[in-house]
Amino acid sequence: MTATFTCEQIISALQPYGEIVGKPVADGSFNICTDSRQAGPQSVYLALKGERFDGHTFVKAAIEAGSPGAIIALSARESVLKSLADLPDAKNKREFFLVVVPDDHNAYQLLATQYRYRINPKVVAVTGS
């Protein structure tokens, strides 16, 4: 089962934590994708910075692959906006949005929490020494 979100649900989970840049898509459900090679029209790209790779360098590739939006860290805002400024005109006219958050990993956790509350699963804990 894949977690899907509408743009409204993504924004709701991340506000007032995140700043919206651009125009979110009004219709559709999207999965959250952390691999730009798998990004496409049905996924919102979440750029995560890790030890070896910085997902923010792949935001442009995700948008070019058809992703309607991306979630990025505030620290990468200027570099991402600069990379998106030179999209070809045909792609640049397509609407997309960015959610700029202080911490990309925390944003991922907030989305997971929102999804967990939405599906309301039974939670089981195992304890012991």
Q: How confident is the chain (129 residues) per 10-residue block, as mean pLDDT?
A: 84 85 85 94 93 93 92 94 77 75 93 88 88
What pLDDT is stored for residue 90 in this prediction?
Answer: 47
Domain membership of residue 36 as a residue range: 4-119
| pLDDT tens column, 106-128 | 999 999 988 888 888 888 999 98
**Does residue 125 form part of some domain?**
no
**Does residue 27 form part of some domain?**
yes
Number of domains present in the structure of the chain: 1
Which residues on neighbouring strands pair with residue 70, listed in sequence order?
A: 45, 98
What pLDDT is stored for residue 1 in this prediction?
Answer: 58
Chain centroid offset of residue 43 CA: 8
**Does residue 93 form part of some domain?**
yes
**Does residue 127 form part of some domain?**
no
DSSP string, 63-115: HHTT-SEEEEEGGGHHHHHHHHHTS-HHHHTS--EEEEES-HHHHHHHHHHHH
Kindly report the pTM of this predicted structure: 0.86
**Does residue 63 form part of some domain?**
yes
Q: What DSSP state is assigned to residue 51?
A: S
CB atoms within 10 A of CB 57: 15
CATH number of domain containing 27: 3.40.1390.10
**Does residue 129 form part of some domain?**
no
